[in-house]
Amino acid sequence: MSEVLDLQVYALLARMHEARDTGCRALREAAAEQARQVVAEARRRARQRVKDAVIEKRRRVQEHCRRVRVEIETRRRERLFAELGRQLAEGLGALPGVLGARWAREAERRAWCRHVLDGAAQVLKPGHWTLLVAPGLPRDEVAGLVAAAAELSGQEVGIEERADLVAGLAVVREGARYDGTLVGLLSDRNAVQSALLAEIAALEHES
């Protein structure tokens, strides 16, 4: 009887050991799987951190490059505007002398007067015109100027030499005035600056 009991006890102990071994093995496998998952997750996070760091570094580099480009462009524009301002100031300062020199040359003076008369004909109505001119015109030029103006106005034309005029010609009709004198041409500063800027741009384009 005791032998049967012993066998039963041994069998029970064997099953218990087997169950324990099976449970331990399952626990070890579960722990190993969990460890693998933890390691895999840690590696994934590490790779993501590296990726994020690379992306952030690239973003900072790109932002730095953008700022450098903006700064370079800003400085380039500042230099350009400064140079343009210098050229404009030089042009404005030289313009009276340049126009005065043109008036002193007969061919250019005649072209100047013709341009003023043509402009006056488009703005002023036919009628009695009075020409205001800088002093010192030769008589033949005065006669030719009066004749050309009379043809455009349809009436006799008066002419006055004005000591206050350095160069140029103005046409007056009943208080209305078409001003092609040196002072009149330079009085619209915005228009003069625009014309000079256009000329500067054209010269730079040609060069």
The reported pLDDT for the residue numbered 141 is 93
Q: Name the average pLDDT for the chain.
A: 86
Closest listed residue to residue 157, CA positions, set 194, 140, 132: 132
Q: How far is the C-alpha of 82 from the C-alpha of 95, rounded, in Å?
A: 20
Could you tell me the end-to-end alpha-carbon distance of the chain, in angstroms, rounded to an integer?
124
Q: Which two tokens stand for residue 187?
A: 């009085």
Query: What is the domain-level CATH number for residue 176?
Result: 3.30.2320.30
- The predicted-structure confidence for 186-198, as pLDDT tens digits, reads as follows 888 888 888 888 8
In a domain, 140, yes or no: yes
Q: How far is the C-alpha of 106 from the C-alpha of 114, rounded, in Å?
A: 12
Question: How many domains in the chain?
Answer: 2
The reported pLDDT for the residue numbered 205 is 67
- The predicted-structure confidence for 60-117, as pLDDT tens digits, reads as follows 999 999 999 999 999 998 888 888 888 888 888 888 898 899 999 999 999 999 999 9
Closest listed residue to residue 112, CA positions, set 148, 88, 139: 148
pLDDT at 201 > cutoff 80 = no
Longest CA–CA span in the chain (Å) reads: 163
Expressed as residue numbers, the domain containing 42 is: 1-95
pTM over 0.85: no
SS3 state at 152: helix
The reported pLDDT for the residue numbered 42 is 86
SS3 state at 16: helix
- Do 109 and 202 lie in one domain? The reply is yes
User: In the chain, pLDDT over 70 holds for what percent of residues?
Assistant: 94
Per-position b or e across 161-180, b if 16+ CB within 10 A of its CB: eeeebebbbbbbbeeebbbb
- Do 201 and 124 lie in one domain? The reply is yes
- Do 11 and 90 lie in one domain? The reply is yes
Q: How far is the C-alpha of 90 from the C-alpha of 181, rounded, in Å?
A: 21
The reported pLDDT for the residue numbered 191 is 84
In a domain, 100, yes or no: no
- The predicted-structure confidence for 123-158, as pLDDT tens digits, reads as follows 888 889 999 999 989 999 999 999 999 999 888 899
